[in-house]
Every structure is written in C-alpha cells, then in structure tokens.
Amino acid sequence: MHETFLRQAIQLAANNADSGEGGPYGAVIVKDNCIIAASANKVTSAIDPTAHAEIMAIRQACKHLNNFSLSGCVLYTSCEPCPMCLGAIYWARLDTVYYACNRYDAATAKFDDSFIYDDIILLPQHRRIPMHHINLPDAREPFDIWNQKADKIPY
C-alpha cells in the first residue's frame, strides 16, 4: 500500500509541474488505508509561500477530521519535507512520513533549502535574516494568562 499512496503523491506533483499551478510537489494523507487529503504545491497559484503540498494536505486533513491532531495518519509526499513542512508535520502529530525524492534531488531542480537547514541551527542573532529580541516587561503576559486558564485546549 505504501508504494501505491506514494505513487499518487508523485502523480499529483507531476501533474502540478505540468500544469504550472505550482511547484513539482504532491502530498497525500491517509488514515485507516483511506486517503483523507491530497494536494499539490500551490505557492504560485495561491500567491502564498506557505502553500506547500504537505501544508495544504495537512490543512485539508484537519478539516476533514475536524481535529488539529492527525495522530493515526500517515503522510506520503513526493519529496522529503522542507523545514517548514517538517515543523507542521510535528505539530500535526502525524504518525509516519514516506517520501520519494530527497532534499538533494530537489536542489538539482533549484529548490535548495540548505540555507534554511544551515540557518536554523544558529542562534537567532547569527541568522541570515536579522532577528532581534526586545525584552519588554509585559511580554510574558499572554503565557501567564494561558497557564492560568482552566478551560484551555492544549495542543
């Protein structure tokens, strides 16, 4: 079954590359051996840099299940997830990820995320995009409110 679902993700990616609606990426999310979400990359057509195939499929799957947790689900993606998608995968709590191409294959097509992988391990003040911490006395207030809230929904 894994190869079947992965081939569907690859087909989404190929169709998307051919149509010009976005990058050459596709993703399928499966629960109990049934596809609950599928998407190709929509960055250019949605004019949204976060509209990667994995992110779009995660959004669809969450709506389908009416839940922000995708525990019990498997992601099949045409390529190794980028750092943004990897973060979303962890936040969504997907059980497993299967991918076809890797980040080095993507780099040969000019989709090179190595600068992000290199930057993410650095302290914020040493990253390529300047990040400046401003220590305000009331900055922790939202966290204090959250911690005291009895009816919060943890995620």
Structure tokens at 115: 């600068």
The pLDDT-based confidence of 155 (bands split at 50, 70, 90) is confident
pLDDT digits (tens, 9 = 90+) for 104-130: 999 999 999 999 999 999 999 999 999
Structure tokens at 18: 């051919």
Q: Is 54 a residue of the active site?
A: yes
Helix (H) or strand (E) holding 27: strand 26-31
Record the pTM: 0.93
- Positions of E strands within the chain: 26-31, 34-40, 73-79, 96-101
Given the residues 21, 54, 80, 141, select the one marked as catalytic: 54
